[in-house]
Amino acid sequence: MKNAWAIVEAEGYERARKQPLTHRPGRPTRSDWMMWQRQLEKIAASYDVSETYTFTVDAAGNNFGLLFLTVDPDDVHYELRTGITTYVEPVQPPRYDAAINAATPTFERKQREEENEQKKHDYFTMKGAARGMAENLRDAMGEQYYNQLEHAIVGFKNVTVLQIMKHLDEEWVPMNTKERRAIKKDYFKPWDVAGGVALSKFTKALDERKIELHVHNITIDEEDVKEHYMVQMYASNVFSEQDLKEWEDKTEAEKDDWNVMKKYFRDKMTLNEAYNNNNEGNAATLFGSAANVIEEEQEEKLANLGDEIREYIQQLTGAQENVPPPSKPPPSNYTSNTSSNKAAEAMDKQMSKIEELLIALTGIQQEPGWWR
């Protein structure tokens, strides 16, 4: 059975190793530290061990998985991030449930055995994940920034993510004025509408990042958040003049309420999206109607030209019938105003006109929409 649990641990390890952190050459900054923290949290939260460690799920049903491997559960920051205060340090389950004895009913024995197997599965999954994430973190930076934690015999075998992050925090990436300013600037970045960032995602990031930065002792003033948000709403060109005027007409108390502000623009965004979606089909219909009008106009032009061509052909045929047969070839320098010459001239004119009409006909056929 030991080999079986080694396989479970290896699976947990490999799963973490398939999610490397962003590598930063040179001395890491505080921003790098925070970036690694976020990346580690996402990896850790992806593991579900809630059947064994019920404290990983909050009252709202949010499953934080192995977050306690990346955010110290003994620190107030863990409670701020999760609202969980019931953390119990995991211990390796026994090979066999000691509560099972000869008097234990069969159904209870089976249930206890299954529960103990699940505990062992979750425990060894956690061990593998912890080892994998620690290696990911070491891979993301130069060795000189963590080699002080190496043990003379076992190396980095027992060095955890929390130990490495604490070492970086204290030795290499202390928070200073320059870092604080850069982090705040990143927080107040514009809403990337052109890049496809949804309003809901932009708003959620403001709320979540504010809490995250508070954990790192960076306070974001709520008034600054609301001002930044409104500047982005106006600059986005997503909302109509009427939408913005309607907002400005609200009471000062409403405009000063962050929740009211978010709800107003979220609702407007929903209405605008619904309107645009409903009109996508109409746009095609309008285009089709315009195309039909153009096609009808082209058909009318063709019909009129066809009538003219037929008329001139009939006139040409009549002119040919009226030309008398020549009796004797005239001299080369002979000029005549006889009726036969006049008829020939009339025929030339008719032919020229027909040629012009054919050119016009070709032009209509080359117009957009002719093939419809």
- In which residue are the tokens 């010459």 written? 341
pLDDT digits (tens, 9 = 90+) for 26-64: 999 998 999 999 999 999 999 999 999 999 999 999 999
Residues 6+ positions from 332 with CB-CB distance below 8 Å? none
Vertex 89: Cα angle to 85 and 91 (nearest 5): 150
pLDDT at position 342: 57
Cα 371 to chain centroid distance, Å, stands at 39
pLDDT digits (tens, 9 = 90+) for 146-187: 999 999 999 999 999 999 999 999 999 988 888 888 889 999
Residues 6+ positions from 305 with CB-CB distance below 8 Å? 357, 360, 361, 364
Judge whether 87 and 73 are in contact, CB under 8 Å: yes
CA distances from 81 to 31, 142, 322 (A): 19, 29, 105
- Give helix 258-322 / helix 222-235 axis angle, nearest 10°: 10
pLDDT digits (tens, 9 = 90+) for 78-126: 888 899 999 999 999 999 998 899 899 999 999 999 999 999 999 999 9
Cα separation, 44 vs 78, whole angstroms: 14
